[in-house]
């Protein structure tokens, strides 16, 4: 299913805020996923479309949406409270539109972290699990696990889809962090991929092959959890 066939929506975040969204819902959907964008590129970025299209081919509906700052054309991400309000509004919208389908949430980098923070603060209604495309464990060049502390308060299953060359999640920190979360956390590594799931030519693979692997891992995990 082509990501360009997505339905355009508007989501009300608050009395003063509304954001754009794109719903891609395959006819035989078996699950639904609320997909938040990263800090530097919005829901229409080709990588977001590729994720939505790849998941649709695997029977997973997606709702992509803008954070308020991206809707306004700003480069400065929203404060956590505003970002989390957008996450909750998007989850509520997808729950309304997806009926009885198992519901999951997460996103790329910043978007995934804002979703997990929202879940840690107060459970997202009807969400069965979180899926992260490149969880940003720390800023590039500043290894730390501080950004993961709130994950201890997330009590639903989590899937971490990460590249082994991710400069925002060094493996010697990422692997023990995920292990410390126990059985509710699963780490799926994309060999030789960076934070955006790009691979070097010398790896012998290409980006499309890597993303197919990642999509397959996502779909298999959804089946297991749902």
Stated pTM of the model = 0.95
**Over pLDDT 70: what percentage of the chain?**
98
pLDDT above 80 for 2: no
The average pLDDT across 13-37 equals 95
The average pLDDT across 164-169 equals 95
Give pLDDT, residue 203.
Answer: 82
DSSP string spanning 142-201?
Answer: ---SGGGGGGGG--S-EEEEEETT-TTS-HHHHHHHHHHTGGGEEEEEETTB-TTS-B-G
CA 130 – CA 106 distance, rounded (Å): 5
Q: How confident is the model at residue 178 (pLDDT cuts 50, 70, 90)?
A: very high
Q: What is the pLDDT of residues 33-60, one digit of tens each?
A: 999 999 989 999 999 999 999 999 999 9
pLDDT above 90 for 164: yes
Between 25 and 3, whose confidence is greater?
Answer: 25
Domain extents in the chain = 3-225
Give pLDDT, residue 177.
Answer: 97
CATH number of 3-225: 3.40.50.1820
SS3 122: coil
Give pLDDT, residue 107.
Answer: 97
- Give the neighbor-by-neighbor strand order of the sheet with 127-133: 7-12, 18-24, 60-65, 31-36, 103-108, 127-133, 158-163, 185-190
The answer to whether the beta carbons of residues 50 and 58 sit under 8 Å apart is: no
């Amino acid at each position: 299913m082509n990501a360009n066939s997505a339905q355009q929506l508007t989501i009300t975040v608050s009395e003063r805020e509304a954001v754009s969204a794109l719903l891609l819902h395959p006819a035989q959907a078996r699950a639904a996923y609320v997909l938040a964008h990263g800090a530097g590129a919005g829901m229409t970025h080709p990588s977001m479309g590729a994720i939505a299209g790849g998941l649709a081919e695997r029977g997973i509906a997606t709702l992509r949406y803008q954070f308020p700052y991206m809707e306004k054309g700003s480069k400065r991400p929203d404060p956590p409270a505003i970002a989390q309000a957008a996450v909750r509004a998007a989850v509520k919208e997808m729950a309304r539109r997806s009926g009885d389908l198992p519901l999951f949430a997460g996103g790329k980098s910043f978007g995934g972290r804002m979703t997990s923070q929202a879940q840690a603060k107060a459970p997202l209604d009807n969400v069965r699990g979180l899926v992260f495309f490149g969880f940003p464990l720390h800023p590039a060049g500043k290894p730390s696990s501080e950004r993961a502390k709130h994950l201890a308060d997330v009590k639903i299953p989590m899937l971490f889809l990460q590249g082994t060359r991710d400069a925002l999640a060094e493996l010697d920190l990422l692997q023990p962090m995920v292990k410390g979360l126990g059985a509710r956390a699963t780490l799926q590594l994309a060999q030789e991929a960076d934070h955006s799931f790009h691979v070097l030519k010398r790896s012998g693979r290409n980006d499309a092959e890597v993303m197919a692997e990642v999509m397959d891992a996502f779909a298999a995990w959804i089946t297991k959890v749902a």
